[in-house]
Amino acid sequence: MKKSQGDFIELTIAYVIIFLILREWLIPVMELTNTSLNHLFLVFIGLSLVLSLFQIHPLLSGLVKFGYITWFIVFVYSESPFISGQTLPFLMHELKWNITKILSGDFGQVSDSFRTVLFLVLIWMLIYLIHHWITVRKNIIYFFALTVFFIATLDTFSDYDGKVAIVKVIVLGLIMTGLLFVKRLWLQTDALSNEIGKWKLAIPMIVSVMLVSSVAFFLPKTGPTWADPVPFIKGVAGQGDFGTGAKKVGYSEDDSRLGGPFQGDNTLIFTATSRDRHYWRIDTKDTYTSKGWILSEGNFGKNIYQTNTPIQTSLQVGSPE
Instruction: Please state, in angstroms and rounded to a whole number, the distance separating the CA atoms of residues 25 and 119.
Output: 13
Which of the two residues, 170 and 262, has the higher pLDDT score?
170
94 in Cβ contact with 113 (< 8 Å): yes
Query: Whose CA is closest to 111, among 95, 124, 135, 130?
Result: 95
The model's pLDDT over 60-78, given as tens digits with 9 standing for 90+, comes to 999 999 999 999 999 999 8
- pLDDT greater than 60 at residue 242: no
What is the pLDDT confidence band of residue 1, given thresholds at 50, 70 and 90?
A: very low
Which of the two residues, 237 and 166, has the higher pLDDT score?
166
Instruction: Please state, in angstroms and rounded to a whole number, the distance separating the CA atoms of residues 194 and 235.
Output: 59
- Round the average pLDDT of the chain to a whole number and report it: 80
What is the pLDDT confidence band of residue 233, given thresholds at 50, 70 and 90?
A: low
Instruction: Please state, in angstroms and rounded to a whole number, the distance separating the CA atoms of residues 319 and 321.
Output: 6
- pLDDT greater than 90 at residue 34: no
What is the pLDDT confidence band of residue 230, given thresholds at 50, 70 and 90?
A: low
Percent of the chain residues past pLDDT 70, beyond the cut: 74
> pTM of the predicted model, to two decimals?
0.67
What is the pLDDT confidence band of residue 261, given thresholds at 50, 70 and 90?
A: low
What is the per-residue pLDDT for 114? 92
Instruction: Please state, in angstroms and rounded to a whole number, the distance separating the CA atoms of residues 247 and 229.
Output: 14
| Pairing mode, strands 248-249 and 293-294 | unpaired
What is the pLDDT confidence band of residue 246, given thresholds at 50, 70 and 90?
A: very low
- pLDDT greater than 70 at residue 298: no
